[in-house]
Structure 1
Amino acid sequence: MMTLRRADDRGHADHGWLQSHHSFSFAEYQDPAHVSFGPLRVINDDIIAPGAGFGMHGHRDMEIVTYVLEGAIAHKDSLGNGATVRPGEVQRMSAGRGILHSEFNPSVNERTRLLQIWIHPIETGLRASYEQKHFDDADKRGRLRVVASPDGREGSVSFHADAVMYAGLFDGDEAFELALDSARKVYVHVARGELQVNGQTLRDGDALKLEAESQLHLGQGRQAEVLVFDLAA
């Protein structure tokens, strides 16, 4: 079974300095039909104005992945980490028993666009931790590259979740097929561009939910960047 969710159907919050589109219920956007999908709880598509950002605030018992599409985000946390995340990099923060962090756009004239992703952990009360890695475009060109997994496979960041996160770049005739476990769920999010996913045309911000499917086919991309989540049912 495949369920298409268009970008325009997502929740939207306009905070002036922040434009955020919510794929799942978040803050003031509450939709009982879109609370989570397996352990995937949040995909926020955020555009942050120059010099603006999120002040120090707390999280707990959530695996948080930041995926930057444009610009950069400057991160600081209560573990003493300080880093700047740019396109091509994946940041993983395990909130565990509790962590404080801040995120700001360090540019004075360019916006930042990022996806903030929350995934429920397989266990609560874990020790908070942080990890960040870079993935070359060449490794994602015309294929899906594992960027986050429970065991850090293929050099991905590791998290405490029953999920595997892939990223891919597709244009023109590039195509890729991934065999799926039909007992699991798969969530495909087109971050930008246009892409054919199992015969469906998805554009910037569109998503496709797959359940009881055995194959994922990606192709006919137009400057597409896609994230794919293999999720526990």
Structure 2
Amino acid sequence: MEILKFDELPQGGFAGLIEKQFVKDQKVFSPARQGKATNGIGNFVYLADANFLPHGETGMHPHREIDVISVMVEGKVNHQGSLEHGKSLVAGEIQAQRAGAEGFSHNEINPSNQRNQLIQLWVLPDKTGMPASYKTYLPETNQLTKVYGGDANQTKTLTSQTEIYVANTEGNFSTTFDSAAIIYISKGNVIVNDRELPARTLVKVKDGFTLSSHESSQIIVIRGQSNQ
């Protein structure tokens, strides 16, 4: 089990936010740019844990041929852009955007006088040339919910062999996986294979594992073909 904690990473940021980058996969980033971040799994190539400053924003910027998944931990963001302009995300919600060949531009804005917290993940699409798409999710409490990945025969999630699950928990929660994965604890203390770990910790496991929590927490699980 490989563990990477928030305090071990350098502080970065841009525009109206500060962030720490946990995953910068060498499929996309050169070794020189990877720094202390780790590689992903499957086509999952990037994870950043960000705090938007009061009324901070990313600024309008483009993406092409990348899937961008945003998980709201605390606070709110207002979404502007070429896909679903005017949407907003509150704590516990997830936004999944597929740029595809046509691409999209977006700006995420913190409307509050307080800092918020948002996790952003990037996944390379399984194939290029797909149309742009946008989806949002609000998982039920204590339900591990797939918010990304699946085959082309369904429409609930963006298709991919890489899968992302999110659980917003209250009280007692437990689930088991039988495969390699990357786990990101974005909120609360979570027990991974009998080891209790704090918020803002990334865990890489090579085979099956059990997750549990006995408090308010948020857990992100990414599965895909191992890059090891």
TM-score normalised to structure 1 length: 0.82
Task: Report if the CA contact (8 A) 1:193-1:221 is conserved.
Answer: no
2:188 matches 1:189: no
Question: Could you tell me which of 201, 206, 225 is aligned with 1:206?
Answer: 201
- Which segment drifts farther, 30-39 or 110-119? 30-39
| Greater strand content | 1
Q: 1:78 maps to what in 2?
A: 82
Q: 1:53-68, aligned counterparts within 5 Å?
A: 53-68=57-72
Q: By how many angstroms is 1:66 displaced?
A: 0.7
RMSD: 2.7
Question: Could you tell me which of 80, 84, 91 is aligned with 1:87?
Answer: 91
Question: Could you tell me which of 12, 28, 34 is aligned with 1:30?
Answer: 34
Q: By how many angstroms is 1:80 displaced?
A: 5.4
Task: Report if the CA contact (8 A) 1:178-1:217 is conserved.
Answer: yes
**How many angstroms apart in 2 are the aligned matches of 1:162 and 1:201?**
30
Please give the per-residue CA displacement for 1:84-141, whole angstroms capped at 9, x wherever unaligned. Answer: 111232111001112111111122x12221101111110112211111222232xxx2
**How many angstroms apart in 2 are the aligned matches of 1:18 and 1:29?**
20
Q: 1:178 maps to what in 2?
A: 176
Task: Report if the CA contact (8 A) 1:75-1:84 is conserved.
Answer: yes
DSSP 3-state at the match of 1:82: coil
Task: Report if the CA contact (8 A) 1:190-1:203 is conserved.
Answer: yes
Q: 2:55 maps to what in 1?
A: 51
AA matched with 2:149: S
- Using a 3 Å threshold, how does the CA distance of structure 1 residues 225 and 152 change in structure 2: closer, same or farther? farther
Q: 1:143-182, aligned counterparts within 5 Å?
A: 143-151=143-151, 157-170=156-169, 174-181=172-179
Structure 2 spans left out of the alignment, 5+ residues: none
Task: Report if the CA contact (8 A) 1:63-1:161 is conserved.
Answer: no
